[in-house]
Amino acid sequence: MTKTICGVNKQVNSIIYAMLLSLSLLIGYYFIDKIVATEIVRQNQSTFIDRDVNTEFVTASKSVYLGKSLFDGKCASCHLIFKNSTGPALMSLEERGPWSDRTELYNWIRNPAKFMSTNGYTKNLKKEFGSMMQAFPDLTNAEINAIVDYINASQSMRQVIY
Ligand code: HEC
Protein backbone atom coordinates (compact mmCIF):
# COMPACT_ATOMS: atom_id res chain seq x y z
CA MET A 1 0.00 0.00 0.00
CA THR A 2 2.69 2.46 1.06
CA LYS A 3 4.85 1.31 -1.87
CA THR A 4 2.11 1.97 -4.33
CA ILE A 5 1.53 5.41 -2.86
CA CYS A 6 5.24 6.02 -3.00
CA GLY A 7 5.30 4.79 -6.59
CA VAL A 8 2.46 7.12 -7.51
CA ASN A 9 4.17 9.96 -5.70
CA LYS A 10 7.40 9.31 -7.60
CA GLN A 11 5.57 9.37 -10.89
CA VAL A 12 3.75 12.55 -9.93
CA ASN A 13 7.03 14.07 -8.82
CA SER A 14 8.79 13.35 -12.08
CA ILE A 15 5.85 14.71 -14.06
CA ILE A 16 5.99 17.90 -11.99
CA TYR A 17 9.78 18.11 -12.52
CA ALA A 18 9.34 17.64 -16.25
CA MET A 19 6.67 20.34 -16.35
CA LEU A 20 8.80 22.76 -14.33
CA LEU A 21 11.76 22.09 -16.60
CA SER A 22 9.85 22.77 -19.77
CA LEU A 23 8.25 25.85 -18.22
CA SER A 24 11.65 27.28 -17.32
CA LEU A 25 12.92 26.51 -20.83
CA LEU A 26 9.94 28.32 -22.30
CA ILE A 27 10.43 31.33 -20.03
CA GLY A 28 14.15 31.37 -20.86
CA TYR A 29 13.44 31.21 -24.59
CA TYR A 30 10.88 34.01 -24.28
CA PHE A 31 13.36 36.36 -22.60
CA ILE A 32 16.25 35.57 -24.94
CA ASP A 33 13.94 36.18 -27.87
CA LYS A 34 12.88 39.53 -26.42
CA ILE A 35 16.47 40.60 -25.82
CA VAL A 36 17.53 39.67 -29.36
CA ALA A 37 14.51 41.43 -30.85
CA THR A 38 15.21 44.61 -28.86
CA GLU A 39 18.83 44.54 -29.99
CA ILE A 40 17.80 44.22 -33.65
CA VAL A 41 15.40 47.15 -33.33
CA ARG A 42 18.10 49.22 -31.60
CA GLN A 43 20.60 48.49 -34.37
CA ASN A 44 18.12 49.36 -37.08
CA GLN A 45 17.19 52.58 -35.35
CA SER A 46 20.76 53.69 -35.05
CA THR A 47 21.52 53.01 -38.74
CA PHE A 48 18.33 54.85 -39.61
CA ILE A 49 19.34 57.84 -37.50
CA ASP A 50 22.88 57.83 -38.96
CA ARG A 51 21.47 57.78 -42.45
CA ASP A 52 19.06 60.55 -41.60
CA VAL A 53 21.77 62.78 -40.21
CA ASN A 54 24.44 62.37 -42.89
CA THR A 55 22.24 61.91 -45.86
CA GLU A 56 22.86 63.56 -49.09
CA PHE A 57 19.12 63.20 -49.38
CA VAL A 58 18.48 65.86 -46.73
CA THR A 59 21.01 68.22 -48.33
CA ALA A 60 19.66 67.51 -51.79
CA SER A 61 16.07 68.18 -50.79
CA LYS A 62 17.05 71.44 -49.09
CA SER A 63 18.72 72.50 -52.31
CA VAL A 64 15.66 71.51 -54.35
CA TYR A 65 13.47 73.51 -51.98
CA LEU A 66 15.70 76.59 -52.29
CA GLY A 67 15.87 76.04 -56.05
CA LYS A 68 12.09 76.03 -56.34
CA SER A 69 11.71 79.33 -54.55
CA LEU A 70 14.49 80.93 -56.65
CA PHE A 71 13.03 79.50 -59.86
CA ASP A 72 9.52 80.73 -59.00
CA GLY A 73 10.78 84.17 -58.00
CA LYS A 74 13.31 84.83 -60.75
CA CYS A 75 12.95 82.50 -63.73
CA ALA A 76 9.30 81.42 -63.96
CA SER A 77 8.19 84.72 -65.52
CA CYS A 78 10.01 83.63 -68.70
CA HIS A 79 10.71 79.89 -68.29
CA LEU A 80 8.66 76.76 -67.75
CA ILE A 81 10.40 73.48 -67.10
CA PHE A 82 8.57 71.32 -69.63
CA LYS A 83 7.37 73.81 -72.25
CA ASN A 84 8.86 76.72 -74.16
CA SER A 85 7.50 80.15 -73.23
CA THR A 86 9.33 83.50 -73.52
CA GLY A 87 12.52 81.46 -73.06
CA PRO A 88 13.23 77.78 -73.75
CA ALA A 89 11.91 74.92 -71.60
CA LEU A 90 14.64 74.22 -69.07
CA MET A 91 14.29 70.44 -68.77
CA SER A 92 17.39 68.36 -69.68
CA LEU A 93 19.35 71.58 -69.50
CA GLU A 94 22.70 69.88 -68.93
CA GLU A 95 22.36 67.85 -72.11
CA ARG A 96 22.31 70.94 -74.39
CA GLY A 97 24.76 73.54 -75.61
CA PRO A 98 27.58 74.31 -73.19
CA TRP A 99 25.52 73.64 -70.03
CA SER A 100 27.16 70.38 -69.03
CA ASP A 101 29.92 72.74 -67.86
CA ARG A 102 28.48 74.36 -64.75
CA THR A 103 30.91 77.32 -64.95
CA GLU A 104 29.47 78.23 -68.35
CA LEU A 105 26.01 78.21 -66.82
CA TYR A 106 27.11 80.50 -63.97
CA ASN A 107 28.58 82.95 -66.49
CA TRP A 108 25.49 82.85 -68.68
CA ILE A 109 23.02 83.49 -65.89
CA ARG A 110 25.05 86.31 -64.35
CA ASN A 111 25.65 88.07 -67.67
CA PRO A 112 23.82 86.67 -70.72
CA ALA A 113 24.72 89.59 -73.02
CA LYS A 114 28.45 89.19 -72.41
CA PHE A 115 28.22 85.40 -72.71
CA MET A 116 26.27 85.61 -75.97
CA SER A 117 28.87 87.87 -77.59
CA THR A 118 31.27 84.92 -77.71
CA ASN A 119 28.89 81.96 -77.88
CA GLY A 120 27.13 80.81 -81.07
CA TYR A 121 24.72 78.44 -79.31
CA THR A 122 23.09 81.23 -77.28
CA LYS A 123 23.13 83.62 -80.28
CA ASN A 124 20.99 81.05 -82.11
CA LEU A 125 18.66 80.78 -79.11
CA LYS A 126 18.09 84.52 -79.26
CA LYS A 127 17.24 84.27 -82.97
CA GLU A 128 14.72 81.57 -82.10
CA PHE A 129 13.16 83.21 -79.04
CA GLY A 130 13.45 86.83 -80.07
CA SER A 131 14.11 88.46 -76.69
CA MET A 132 17.17 88.79 -74.50
CA MET A 133 17.41 86.97 -71.19
CA GLN A 134 17.62 89.12 -68.07
CA ALA A 135 20.94 89.09 -66.12
CA PHE A 136 21.16 87.86 -62.52
CA PRO A 137 24.57 89.15 -61.38
CA ASP A 138 23.77 88.48 -57.71
CA LEU A 139 22.96 84.77 -57.93
CA THR A 140 25.67 82.69 -56.23
CA ASN A 141 27.02 79.37 -57.54
CA ALA A 142 25.12 77.54 -54.78
CA GLU A 143 21.87 79.26 -55.77
CA ILE A 144 22.34 78.40 -59.42
CA ASN A 145 23.15 74.79 -58.42
CA ALA A 146 19.93 74.77 -56.42
CA ILE A 147 17.92 75.93 -59.44
CA VAL A 148 19.44 73.12 -61.54
CA ASP A 149 18.71 70.62 -58.72
CA TYR A 150 15.09 71.77 -58.71
CA ILE A 151 14.80 71.42 -62.51
CA ASN A 152 16.34 67.93 -62.42
CA ALA A 153 14.18 66.85 -59.47
CA SER A 154 11.02 68.02 -61.25
CA GLN A 155 12.08 65.99 -64.23
CA SER A 156 12.66 62.82 -62.17
CA MET A 157 9.29 63.30 -60.45
CA ARG A 158 7.60 63.61 -63.82
CA GLN A 159 9.29 60.41 -65.01
CA VAL A 160 8.03 58.64 -61.89
CA ILE A 161 4.47 59.97 -62.20
CA TYR A 162 3.92 59.56 -65.96
C1 HEC B 1 13.06 88.12 -69.01
C2 HEC B 1 12.94 86.72 -69.38
C3 HEC B 1 13.88 85.72 -68.77
C4 HEC B 1 14.13 85.49 -67.43
C5 HEC B 1 13.55 86.23 -66.23
C6 HEC B 1 15.04 84.36 -67.38
N7 HEC B 1 15.33 83.95 -68.65
FE8 HEC B 1 16.56 82.41 -69.15
N9 HEC B 1 16.25 82.80 -71.12
C10 HEC B 1 15.41 83.76 -71.62
C11 HEC B 1 15.48 83.75 -73.07
C12 HEC B 1 14.67 84.64 -74.00
C13 HEC B 1 16.41 82.76 -73.41
C14 HEC B 1 16.89 82.38 -74.82
C15 HEC B 1 18.20 83.10 -75.07
C16 HEC B 1 17.97 84.58 -75.29
O17 HEC B 1 17.26 84.93 -76.22
O18 HEC B 1 18.50 85.34 -74.46
C19 HEC B 1 16.86 82.16 -72.16
C20 HEC B 1 17.75 81.11 -72.09
C21 HEC B 1 18.11 80.48 -70.92
C22 HEC B 1 18.95 79.32 -70.85
C23 HEC B 1 19.51 78.52 -72.02
C24 HEC B 1 18.44 77.47 -72.34
C25 HEC B 1 18.77 76.42 -73.35
O26 HEC B 1 17.83 75.81 -73.85
O27 HEC B 1 19.95 76.16 -73.61
C28 HEC B 1 19.09 79.02 -69.55
C29 HEC B 1 19.89 77.88 -68.95
C30 HEC B 1 18.35 79.99 -68.79
N31 HEC B 1 17.75 80.86 -69.66
C32 HEC B 1 18.24 79.99 -67.43
C33 HEC B 1 17.52 80.91 -66.71
C34 HEC B 1 17.43 80.93 -65.27
C35 HEC B 1 18.07 79.87 -64.36
C36 HEC B 1 16.67 81.98 -64.92
C37 HEC B 1 16.32 82.45 -63.53
C38 HEC B 1 17.42 82.69 -62.62
C39 HEC B 1 16.29 82.66 -66.16
N40 HEC B 1 16.81 81.99 -67.21
C41 HEC B 1 15.49 83.80 -66.21
C42 HEC B 1 14.63 84.62 -70.90
C43 HEC B 1 14.64 84.74 -69.53
Residues 42-62 have a mean pLDDT of 63
Give the whole-number percent of the chain exceeding pLDDT 90.
Answer: 65
CA atoms within 13 A on the CB side of 154: 19
| pLDDT tens track for 95-138 | 999 999 999 999 999 999 999 999 999 999 999 999 999 999 99
Q: What angle do CA 103, 91, 66 make, to 5 degrees?
A: 65
C-alpha span between 71 and 93 (Å, rounded): 14
C-alpha span between 53 and 87 (Å, rounded): 39
Q: Which residues contact 75 (CB under 8 A, 6 or more apart)?
A: 90, 147
Closest residue CA from atom 17 of ligand 1: 126
pLDDT, position 31: 86
Ligand 1 centroid distance, CA of 75 (Å): 7
